[in-house]
Structures are given as C-alpha cells and as structure tokens.
Amino acid sequence: MKIQLESIGLPTLSKLLGKTSQIDMPDGTVADVVSHIVNRMGQPARKILLDQKGQLDLSIQVMVNDEGFLARNEYSQRILQDGDKVKFMLLVGGG
C-alpha cells in the first residue's frame, strides 16, 4: 500500500524524507510506518523519531487523514489503508 507522509515542525525529519513523501509498504499500522521509516533511514531517523526506549518520542504527535491526533496507545491499533496520509508534527506548548 502507498502511504503519504508529511512532516510539520520537524526540519531534520523533513530533510530525510522531504516535507511530503510517499512510502510503499505492506499493510500495517501507524507503528509499522514508524518502524518502516526507521528501518529505511537508519540511525538519523531513529534519533529524530524515537526515545531511549524505542518508542515514538513524546514531542511528536501523529495525525492520520486530518482526523485529529492519535493517542499513543492507538499507534499500534490504527490500521492504515492505501492512500492514507500520516502527518508527524512537533508538539509545541504555549501560554
């Protein structure tokens, strides 16, 4: 299946993948997309995306098809379909 990727507020990830890009991968979940990116791009992607435990860094939020941010426990449950768009965004706080 083909998945559209977009990176917002993560310039180092955008340099690796492009601001928008497309990957071709077997059926899977959001967690599988993250694994696919890390396996394909190696240590630079691992350093950007993952924390010390190998989980998606807490500073990164994920959205699929502009349907709202996914909860962390949904990454391994949210099954993707061909043509879905996955956005990785830097979580910013303010006041």
Terminal Cα distance for the chain, rounded: 40
pLDDT in tens, 10-45: 999 999 988 889 999 999 999 999 999 999 999 999
DSSP code at position 9: S
Q: How far apart (Å, rounded) are the C-alpha atoms in residues 67 and 11? A: 23
Q: Which domains does the chain have, with CATH numbers?
A: 2-90 (3.10.20.30)
Q: pTM for the full model?
A: 0.90
pLDDT in tens, 30-88: 999 999 999 999 999 999 999 999 999 999 999 999 999 999 999 999 999 999 999 99
pLDDT of residue 19: 84
| Contact indicator for 54, 86 with CB cutoff of 8 Å | no
To which residue do tokens 């956005």 refer? 87
β-bridge mates for residue 89, sequence order: 8, 61
pLDDT of residue 94: 62
Q: How far apart (Å, rounded) are the C-alpha atoms in residues 83 and 1? A: 7
